[in-house]
Amino acid sequence: MTGRIKWGVIGSGGIAFRRTIPEGILPARNATLAAVYDINSQVNQEAGRKFNAPAAGSLDELLEAGLDAVYVATPTDVHCEQVHKCARAGKHVLCEKPLGLDVREADQMVAACREAGVVLGTAFMMRFHSQHQAALGMIREGRLGTPAYGRAQLSCWYPPLDAWRQDPAKGGGGSLIDMGSHSIDLLEMFFGPVAKVSCFIHNTVHAYQSEDSAVALLSFRNGAIGTVDAFFCIPDESSENALELYGSQGCILAKGTIGQTSQGRMIARCRPSGAAYDARQTRTPAGDIEIAPEPVNTYQAEIEEFSQALLDGRAPAVPGEAGLHSQKVLAACYESARTGRAVEID
């Protein structure tokens, strides 16, 4: 492949309309929008007009539009079928998380793309946030010392709307699988794979079928511990979407970096190596280090990275296997919530 990757979009409403097309595909330097499709023809026609792209009348018509890759942004219950169809048509796929409804579907999606010889990626766009990447660099440099504890929060107000995310048959679950999956993925990017989980889910405020409240306790293979809190019943202005990373030499603290924007504030506090024990625990300020690299749009970065992987003939930074692993961790969380026991990751 040379030049620009020609993209099609399945599910041109929702997140694709609000974010991924205007902020990701259109400004990407190595991509172009070739066609859009949505089961809602009115929504699809609007997307076609707004983004100056052919509005396909069917999925088959989309796949015949000379595409290189397809971005799948539909409800979760149709991900598996649509990814299979894209793979059979020889199209590379970037699929929104969660990758299918469960582990079985995610495994089938990875296998179908592998057998068809096409690339499958998982849309964990928050990995590309410039401050998250800067924090990852500090951790890899050993600036935090031995990782000890991490917390990631992503919550919002999501009242009953007859929406697919509020029906586990269509979304696979509620706040945990929808938002907690991003937070778990980020903590694993910083601290490595999770080995065991313990989880609580509940409907604290809203009475829809999916959970509106979730807290997961994570035990990482390297010995660190983490917590993830994901709620559909906390007002947007009340949740700071905090990220906290602690180690034997200091911490990284952020507010607002987890989410759909490229904004947020992040600081680091690192003590000198070999600092003496202080029995009084006076907590003398170590001095905040502002972590403020040049912001990048996470959707543009995600599209450009996947497109470049196709142009270079290499695996993407966030492959389908990342989505499959995420489903295994989530399945363990839901099993723990159901049984009241800690569950090891397969």
What was the pLDDT predicted at 328? 98
Q: What is the pLDDT of residues 174-187, one digit of tens each?
A: 999 999 999 999 99
Q: What is the pLDDT of residues 86-104, one digit of tens each?
A: 999 999 999 999 999 999 9
Q: What is the mean pLDDT of the chain?
A: 96
Strands (E), 80-193: 92-96, 120-123, 147-153
Please compute Rg for the chain using Cα positions: 21
How does residue 216 score in pLDDT terms, banded at 50, 70 and 90? very high
Average of pLDDT values for 214-232? 98
Q: Do domains 5-123+299-319 and 127-296 have the same CATH topology?
A: no
How does residue 274 score in pLDDT terms, banded at 50, 70 and 90? low
If one compares 272 and 135, the residue with the highest pLDDT of the two is 135
What pTM value is reported for the model?
Answer: 0.95
Q: Which of 83-87, 129-133, 287-291, 310-314 has the lowest mean pLDDT?
A: 287-291
Strands 213-220 and 194-202: antiparallel
- Rounded-to-integer distance, Cα 273 and Cα 81, Å: 53
- Rounded-to-integer distance, Cα 108 and Cα 83, Å: 10
Please give the share of the chain, as a percent, with pLDDT higher than 90.
93
Domain residue ranges in the chain: 5-123+299-319, 127-296
Cα 95 to Cα 23, 98, 99, 121, 259, distances in angstroms: 17, 8, 7, 6, 18
In this structure, whether the domain defined by 127-296 belongs to CATH 3.30.360.10 is answered with: yes
Q: Judge whether 331 and 102 are in contact, CB under 8 Å.
A: yes
What tokens does 62 get? 């989309």
Q: What is the pLDDT of residues 125-134, one digit of tens each?
A: 999 999 999 9
How does residue 208 score in pLDDT terms, banded at 50, 70 and 90? very high
Strands 225-231 and 147-153: parallel
Average of pLDDT values for 324-344? 98
CATH topology of domain 5-123+299-319: Rossmann fold (3.40.50)
